[in-house]
């Protein structure tokens, strides 16, 4: 079974996740924006074996620590989708703006709609969900009914679209056409804030509830 630990990192209070196969203890670290010592300690404390680093998108609070962590663990970086390259190419500059140590990131593998990521004996399906950034992706494990959605959707809100490459219409379409069809019972880990379910957001989210989107 796929299980997850969530660790808040960076001054932006971003949810970095460690997804692991409970049978093999192999894991992937998702969106290590910073505070990598906390993520390394969490993995070590739970006897997890890091296999790879996964990125949902290229903002500093999600990707700022990826290059350093990959070097420490000697693992590859997979994701996001290639349209976020301009953001990953500017992580060091972003870091200087926000007073955060960061290095530019060059993924070993870009991911896109339909790709499958293996973690031990578990699989993550990749969905392309632009809007917050042009190359944003999300990860979904069907058996555990768990989605890792980055900054597409939050508990009671949605991701910003006023940053470079953002597009409000694309974000709404990503939620409506990529997330909602996965099922109402899906639990999700957002990039910031507490977890929620698609059912709860479809009932009351002021941006993407069924009533707002005109879904009956």
- The mean predicted confidence, pLDDT, of the chain is 97
- CA–CA distance, 117 with 85 (Å, rounded to integer): 20
Under the banding of pLDDT at 50, 70 and 90, the label for residue 216 is confident
Find out if CATH 3.40.50.2300 is the number for domain 2-213. no
What is the structure's pLDDT at 89? 98
- What is residue 192's DSSP assignment? B
pLDDT digits (tens, 9 = 90+) for 166-210: 999 999 999 999 999 999 999 999 999 999 999 999 999 999 999
The mean per-residue pLDDT over the stretch 42-67 comes to 98
Q: Which residue has the tokens 């693992």?
A: 75
Burial 150-164 (b: 16+ CB within 10 A, else e): bbbbbbeebbebeee
**C-alpha R_g of the chain:** 16
Whether residue 134 is predicted with pLDDT greater than 90 in this model: the reply is: yes
What is the structure's pLDDT at 99? 86
Under a CB-based contact definition with an 8 Å cutoff, are residues 128 and 112 in contact?
Answer: yes
pLDDT digits (tens, 9 = 90+) for 65-110: 999 999 999 999 999 999 999 999 999 999 898 888 899 999 999 9
The residue extents of the domains of the chain are 2-213
Under a CB-based contact definition with an 8 Å cutoff, are residues 58 and 133 in contact?
Answer: yes
Under the banding of pLDDT at 50, 70 and 90, the label for residue 23 is very high
What is the structure's pLDDT at 42? 98
């Amino acid at each position: 079974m796929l299980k997850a630990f969530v660790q808040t990192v960076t001054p932006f209070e971003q949810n970095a996740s460690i997804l692991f196969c409970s049978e093999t203890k192999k894991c992937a670290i998702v969106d290590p924006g910073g505070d990598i010592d906390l993520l390394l300690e969490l993995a070590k404390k739970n006897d997890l074996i890091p296999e790879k680093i996964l990125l949902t998108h290229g903002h500093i609070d999600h990707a700022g620590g990826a290059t350093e962590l990959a070097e420490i663990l000697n693992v590859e970086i997979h994701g996001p989708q290639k349209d976020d390259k301009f953001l990953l190419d500017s992580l060091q500059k972003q870091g200087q703006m926000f007073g955060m140590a960061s290095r530019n990131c060059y993924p070993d593998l870009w991911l896109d709609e339909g790709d499958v990521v293996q973690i031990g004996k578990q699989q993550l399906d990749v969905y392309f969900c632009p809007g917050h950034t042009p190359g944003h992706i999300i990860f979904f494990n069907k058996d555990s009914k768990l989605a890792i959605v980055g900054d597409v959707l939050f508990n009671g809100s949605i991701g910003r679209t006023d940053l470079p490459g953002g597009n409000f219409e694309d974000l709404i379409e990503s939620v409506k056409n990529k997330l909602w069809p996965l099922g109402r019972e899906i639990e999700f880990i957002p990039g910031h804030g507490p977890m929620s379910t698609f059912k709860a957001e479809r009932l009351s989210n002021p941006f993407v509830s069924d009533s707002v989107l005109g879904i009956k």
